[in-house]
Structure 1
Amino acid sequence: MTASNRPADHTPFADLPAALVEEVLEKTAEVADGLLASFQQVKADRQSLRNQLTNSGLVMGESSLGYPPLPTTCATDGSYAIERLLTTDLAAAAAVAVEGLTPPSEKRHWALPHHKTFVAAEPHLEDTATVLRAVMLGEELRLAANAPHDLVMMDGTLTLPIIYFNQALNTAPDAKQLRCAEEFLGHCSEYLEAYLVLLRSERSDKHYAALPKYSTRREIGRKLGWPPMYDDRGMLTILLDPGELTTPLQLEHPRDSKGDVTWHLNTGRLPVDAKKEATDLSGEIISALEAVCVFYYKPHSWLPALRVEVAGSVASNTQRLATVIQGLKHQTATPSMLEPYPLYLADRTAKALARAFPAFRQVTTQRVSEQYKGDIGEVFFAMHGYRSETGR
């Protein structure tokens, strides 16, 4: 393999000045020393911190919940990509739902993964990503709400949809030339309704769990007075033994100076035919969000602690909580994945969209070229990609 066609990740320093590389490498030594001291401190304090955790009554064993039948599972994820071309933007979003490992006594619900897609040529506008991301997440929620499985997992926190939806509600009415804005406004009530289904989780045979890989919230740390530098998930990965979980606690929410929750959905600018329903749903969503609970669970020694967010109706019911725990444990049966199996598959599928997007652009360019009557060079100039934006 020559230098010209060698993958970039095999030669990470190829286009960097040697002096810059040397300077950064020198500074990483300082970073490593700081991290080493932090790791050693946590190791030295582990026993005292674990004693504090267990004495607080915040830890329980999975066996105390019982062993309900293994649930069928699936997971959802999504991604979007925008190719900034000379004359237009190519925008695409996809939501996928992937079935997990099937218990021996059950049949598979789906022969293939389920998906929803949106693809459009959009004018150059800075708000495209904001609205497209909301469409992606809305379709992800619809897939989750309609899945026939006992346990449905989502990659991310349960508070993420209200943030993305509110951004799109503020943006889409002023960007009506965007097809993704039309898509979002046309299905907004359906997205909100699916979101409410997940937040309430009212059916006893349906369980929804959100598993964010990263969160700045520190429900356990604040309760026990841990230093701000101690992240809940990182600390509990060290402190929890395999098969242990923390007692579900109410999710932290942003609050104003009076202590009131500040979640908001700006439905006032929606079309008249959708405004009332969306406004009613937004009030129910905010109430349901306040009841969401979080716990950490460490299924096996080779896994980090999982942060799990569930509806209050699940957290307060021992049988339903046990079903979630059994589903998570059954789907984390191999050390080669640091998350439940269906989430791993959904994540890989979603990320593949961004990698495949240049190929989609080339196919589009070819089809335009075949039918264009003028100079074909004009087509290649117009369809030349200058910048790509992706997200999940």
Structure 2
Amino acid sequence: MTESAERPFGELPSALVDEMLKRTENLGQKLLYDFEQVRTRRNEWREGLKRAGMLRRDAEVSYVPIPTTCGVDGSYAVERLLTSDLVVAAAVAVEGLTPPSEACHWPEPRHQVWVETEAHEAETSTILRALMIGLELELASRAPHEIVFLDGSLTTPLIYFNQALNKSRDIIHLQTTTYFLERASSMLEAYLTVLSSNRSDRCWLAVPKYTTRREIGRVMGWPDTHDDRGLLSFLLEPGEYTIPSALQQPPEPWHLNTEPLAVFGSRTIADIADQIVSALGEIQVIYYRPYPWLPALRLEMSRAVAQNTARLATVLHGVRYQCGAPAVMEPFPLYLADRMVKHLPKAIPTFRQVTSQHIAETYQGNVDDIFLGLHGYRTESGV
């Protein structure tokens, strides 16, 4: 265990720590009130779900063979150096617990990565984040498994792509921007594949850890202070799931700005964008709590999967099989992928030091210039 983990308040002024501890007592009282409200109204809210016909048990679905699974996650980091930025984005795919009848062929590589040096720009992270999620989608669309788990919501790629495309004209001089725009068509096609899930032997599931959506809460009239996942974690019994519900739509219609991609074939990309927007309107959501030690899992999927009894049975069986370890609070392949990519930002300073040494070996001037120019000040990252 590191010293910082053993002494979490070691670098903080004692007066500040004392005030934080005093305020924590008040926070505890507020949280206690919320827990008490859920406890006292649990039976009432459960009965409401039953009357609305929204509760089901996984034992009621037909038994299917254990499906093959994998999880895909990504990470990015920007190391701010004195003279430039070192940027990296990566996506990894990890196979889940292998069923006894495993037979699929999964060619390597099972990762994608982008590393580059860029001029200082405030919006570098915006482009890099979109590139990261695009790399994830490409990996996910090529995975040969029956169930492919994705970290985050199915709406997140659209948001990230839009932000990057809107900023791309202002930072077109970045090599990362050019690379993203060149690959955007392939990434959007992969996104459409994931959203549609038209293949009967394959489906893609988004499993967001954090969500504020209230598709069920709005229908049931639950307090606005509780999101669906938080509340259903206390309402659902182990083995229960909610019937598919339509994804909560935004106040304004979904939109994807494809204008910056005009030079790469606007008609085809515009058609793909329209199909993506249409597919987002068809996304379905269920909440499933396979075991007592797990919170309710939010599962976002295509209507083609959610409304097909056999495919939904495959989803539930696959999720249950991959969540059998009490120490893991999400499907196992997603947990592994997340653990891997979280180490990327931590590794960036090491890559920088290796680069500095290589340059210093051949640099004709004062090597102090190298170490000064490549000195890292802070790393911005996201997973």
- When normalised by structure 2's length, the TM-score is 0.97
What is aligned with 2:143?
147
What is aligned with 1:259?
none
What is aligned with 2:336?
345
What is aligned with 1:120?
116
SS at match of 2:111: strand
User: Are 1:304 and 2:295 counterparts?
Assistant: yes
What is aligned with 2:361?
370
- Counterpart of 2:369 in structure 1: which amino acid? E
Select 2:304's aligned residue among 288, 313, 317: 313
Select 1:334's aligned residue among 316, 325, 341: 325
Q: How far is 1:16 from its partner? A: 1.1
1:263 & 1:8 partners in 2: Cα distance? Answer: 44
What is aligned with 1:227?
223
8 Å Cα contact 2:104-2:144 kept in structure 1: no
Q: How far is 1:228 from its partner? A: 0.4
User: Are 1:78 and 2:74 counterparts?
Assistant: yes
Q: How far is 1:38 from its partner? A: 1.3
2:370 & 2:144 partners in 1: Cα distance? Answer: 46
Q: How far is 1:111 from its partner? A: 8.4
Select 2:242's aligned residue among 224, 246, 255: 246
Deviations along 1:136-190, whole A, 9 cap, x unmatched?
Answer: 1001000000000000000000000000001111112331221110111101110
Q: How far is 1:10 from its partner? A: 2.0
Q: CA RMSD in A?
A: 1.4
2:300 & 2:74 partners in 1: Cα distance? Answer: 18
Gaps of 5+ in 2: none
2:169 & 2:231 partners in 1: Cα distance? Answer: 44
User: Are 1:358 and 2:349 counterparts?
Assistant: yes
What is aligned with 1:171?
167
Identity %: 51
What is aligned with 1:98?
94
- Counterpart of 1:157 in structure 2: which amino acid? S
8 Å Cα contact 2:81-2:373 kept in structure 1: yes
What is aligned with 1:205?
201
SS at match of 1:203: coil
Number of aligned residue pairs: give it.
Answer: 383
2:33 & 2:109 partners in 1: Cα distance? Answer: 45
Deviations along 1:44-80, whole A, 9 cap, x unmatched?
Answer: 1111111111111111111222111111000100000
- Counterpart of 1:54 in structure 2: which amino acid? K
- Counterpart of 2:142 in structure 1: which amino acid? N
2:108 & 2:227 partners in 1: Cα distance? Answer: 38
8 Å Cα contact 1:96-1:113 kept in structure 2: no
SS at match of 1:27: helix
What is aligned with 1:379?
370
User: Are 1:15 and 2:11 counterparts?
Assistant: yes
Q: How far is 1:81 from its partner? A: 0.4
1:94 & 1:192 partners in 2: Cα distance? Answer: 17
Moved over 6 A (4+): none
- When normalised by structure 1's length, the TM-score is 0.95
8 Å Cα contact 2:106-2:144 kept in structure 1: no
